[in-house]
Amino acid sequence: MTDHEALIREAIAAEADQAVDHRAVLAELRRKRSRRRPIALFAAATLTVAAAAVAVIVPLAVDRTASAPPAKQVAPASNARTVLLIGTDGGGNTDSIVLVRIAADTPVSAVWLPRDALVDLPGVGVDRLNSAYARGREVGGGQAGAEALARAVESLTGVAVDHHAEIDVAGVAALSDVVGGVDVCLRKPARDHLSGVDLPAGRILLGGQQALAFLRQRNGLPNGDLDRVMRQQVFLRALAAKVVGAQDPALVARVVEAARSTVRTDPGLELLEFAQRITPTMRTAIIPLGAEVDVENGTGPVRGHAVDPAAVRAFAAGFFADGAADTPTGGFTEPPAATQTQSPGEQESERGCVS
Amino acid sequence: MPDDDYDQFVTERLDRLLRYATALTCDKHLAQDIVQDVLLRARQRWARIGAVDVPYLYVKRMVTNEYLSWRRRRAARDVSSTHVSLDDLAPAVADPAIRHAERDAMRARIAVLPRKQRAALVLRYYEDSTDAEIAEVLGCTEGTVRSHISRALHKLRVNEKTPSEVLR
């Protein structure tokens, strides 16, 4: 050990000595923890079912597997509902924000709103979209967070949000095991310490922890969060394809049961009631996005994707128009093609591979 | 019980994690934010983390990654400007201990190193980690670790003669 190194060692130790008192932090941790663990997480699951998986899969599966769907004339086309799906990491961080429109005789339409889209939040200024959730949650828990995010999404898209549902991404990943694995295709091998992902390139059967890692990885991807969005879309479509392809009502029941425990929704959301009448196709898109920029918002610089509210509103109006079933245009499509319409069961071609 | 296990881990390791994060960030408040954030997340996944050989290493890696990728909230404040206490660090006029002054000047120099170099330095000289362990935590090769450290050492030596006035 040279004197130079000894001095460095002392300097670093002196820096470490500046640390805040751990007892205060311990108290803070305990306080946050008790607030962050609402019992509702489990209790509310009995209310209804609405995971992205379910919103997508159940309609598809029921349509294909039930030879004679029960005649249930409760849902005319105008009775469309818009559900905000909030994918969380189980610890209160919002990983994905998806606005889903479900209507009878119309494809399920789902548009992803990147969590780092920069929006103007009332009383806050410009910040990332998912910060609305975090702020609401700070004040009044998960339900308040979801409602605050719903308001922010409404004001950004101009689309009224009827219901919201919070989904633990880990639970969605677990669905892959229920169906015996989900097929995806990777352009390059994926390895990342943070998410624990370790997958080869090419077509793979995803299950268990690797499914979760696949859905969560953001670091090390060329387009970060946007690549993660693509992965979620690909995963959900592949999951739906698997369920539909199985032609097995018992499998559907198991998927629904598994999804039930991973979702909590606002009171009053019941999707199953008109699930039978939904067309078995799914349209996915990402809202129009600008470049990644840094903005100043009073509390410090924030980095995110610039968003033109007028463009987003115009896109959402077209995408969610009654009876819209065409391939969406105008959303974010850079690279690779982020928007496509696909029938469940259809084979993913090589171009369906993701980063 | 995972809960008890987690509580025990936090009770035993919190102080050390805070010190490590403070040495890493040169900002005790940022360090607190990061450690709190990481521990809350770790709790959600404790069934898995608690099962690995050395949970402390795992959590330390989470803290390090969080710091290295830190861009939110207090975020983009650059490392050099983050270190608000540069003024405090200048040797006090009446300071009798020269070593003390040298040490504080060194602190200031360390605080303006690039993040990864500083992380490697803190892991070696504060956590006494081997190159292999540092490589594991930083997610790079041992060769890169050695290069981070030698660059940092070189830079600290070159700047050694820089009078603290220049740093202000």
Tens-place pLDDT, residues B34-88: 898 889 888 878 888 888 778 888 899 889 988 887 654 343 333 333 333 333 4
Chain A residues with CB under 8 Å of B113 CB are: none
The phi, psi pair for A281, rounded to 5°, reads -135, 160
Query: Which residue of A17, A29, A193 is in closest CB contact with B139?
Result: A193
pLDDT band at A52 (very low <50, low <70, confident <90, very high): very low
Q: Which A positions 207-246 lie with beta carbon below 8 A of chain B?
A: 219
What's the pLDDT score for residue A90?
A: 65
User: A197 has which bridge partners?
Assistant: A192
A9-18, B35-44, B116-125: least confident range: B35-44
Q: Quote the DSSP letter at residue B86.
A: H
Contact criterion met (CB < 8 Å) for A22 and B125: no
Contact A355, A214 (CB under 8 A): no
Which position has the token pair 């990777």?
A186
Scanning the structure block, which residue is given the tokens 């209160």? A92
* Residue A33 pLDDT level (bands cut at 50, 70, 90): low
Q: What is the pLDDT of residues A322-354, one digit of tens each?
A: 766 666 666 776 443 334 444 443 344 455 788
Range from A32-36, A118-122, A151-155, A322-326 carrying the lowest mean pLDDT: A32-36
Q: How far is B6 from chain A (nearest CA, A)?
A: 12
Contact: A19, B40; criterion CB under 8 Å: no
E strand or H helix at A315? helix A309-319
Start-to-end CA span in chain A (Å):
46
Give A21→chain B minimum CA distance, Å: 8
Q: Are strands A118-121 and A197-199 parallel, antiparallel or unpaired?
A: unpaired
pLDDT the model gives residue A325? 65
Q: How far apart are CA A132 and CA A275, in angstroms?
A: 31
Task: Please report residues of B whose CB lies closer than 8 A to that of A22.
Answer: 14-15, 18
- The whole-number pLDDT of residue A312 equals 92
Q: Do residue B126 and residue A9 have CB atoms under 8 angstroms apart? A: yes
Work out the percent of chain B whose per-residue pLDDT is above 90.
30
Q: CA nearest A128 in B: which residue?
A: B72
Per-residue tokens: B35: 């450690």
Place of tokens 């209790």: A43
Average pLDDT over residues A82-93: 78
* Cβ within 8 Å, pair B125-A219: no
Among A142-156, A188-202, A272-286, A329-343, the minimum mean pLDDT is found in A329-343
A90: closest CA of chain B, how far (Å): 7
The answer to whether the CB atoms of B103 and A28 lie below 8 A apart is: no
Listed in sequence order, the residues at least 6 apart from A228 whose beta carbon sits closer than 8 Å to its beta carbon are A95, A96, A215, A216, A217, A218, A221
CA distance A185 to A33: 38
Contacts of A301 in chain B (CB under 8 A): 75-77
B124 vs A233, more confident: B124
Nearest CA in chain B to A116: B72
Choose the closest CB to B22 out of A9, A11, A15.
A15
Q: Would the pLDDT of B16 be above 90?
A: yes
What is residue B159's predicted lDDT score, i.e. its pLDDT?
A: 63
Alpha carbon distance B64, A192 (integer Å): 14
> A244-282 b/e with 16+ CB inside 10 Å = b?
bebeeeebbeebbebbbbbbbbbeebebeebbbbbbbbb
Chain B touched by A303 (CB under 8 Å): yes
Decide if B19 and A5 are in contact by the 8 Å CB cutoff: no
Kindly indicate the confidence band of residue A262, based on its pLDDT and cuts at 50, 70 and 90. Answer: low
Shortest distance between the Cα of B75 and any Cα of chain A, in A, equals 7
pLDDT of A209 > 90? The answer is no
Report angle CA A253, A255, A259 to the nearest 5 degrees. 120
| CA separation for the pair A268, A254 (Å, rounded) | 23
Pairing of strands A190-192, A197-199: antiparallel
Query: Which value does ipTM take for this structure?
Result: 0.80
> Nearest-CA distance from A305 to chain B in Å?
14
Weakest-pLDDT range from A53-57, A152-156, A190-194, A322-326 = A53-57
Q: Which residue has the higher pLDDT, B156 or A245?
A: B156
Phi, psi of B111 (to 5 degrees): -65, -20
Confidence of residue A105 (pLDDT cuts 50, 70, 90): low
**pLDDT one-digit tens code per residue, A138-178:** 777 777 888 899 999 999 999 988 877 777 788 778 888 88
A186 token code pair: 């990777």
Angle, in degrees to the nearest 10, between helices A208-216 and A225-246: 140
CA distance B19 to chain A (A): 4
- Long-range CB pairs of B55-59 (<8 Å, 24+ gap) are B55/B9, B56/B9, B56/B13, B56/B16, B57/B133, B57/B136, B57/B137, B59/B9, B59/B13, B59/B17
- Predicted pLDDT of residue A161: 87
**Both tokens of residue A43?**
């209790």
pLDDT at A179 (0 to 100): 86
Contact B121 A12 (CB under 8 A): yes
Are B20 and A16 inside 8 Å of each other by CB?
yes
- Torsion sign (Cα): A208, A212, A215, A221: negative
Percentage with pLDDT > 90 across chain A? 12
Query: For A6-15, A38-47, A68-77, A338-347, which range has the lowest pLDDT when averaged over its residues?
Result: A38-47
Name residue B2's amino acid: P
Which chain A residues are Cβ-neighbours of B122 within 8 angstroms?
12
> From start to end of A89-131, where are the E strands?
94-102, 107-112, 118-121, 125-128
**A303 vs B71: CB contact, 8 Å cut-off?**
yes
Nearest-CA distance from A38 to chain B in Å?
A: 13
CB A204 within 8 A of CB A183: yes
- Asked whether residue B106 carries a pLDDT value surpassing 70, the answer given is yes
Interface test with B, best of A5, A8, A130, A194 (most B CBs within 10 A): A8
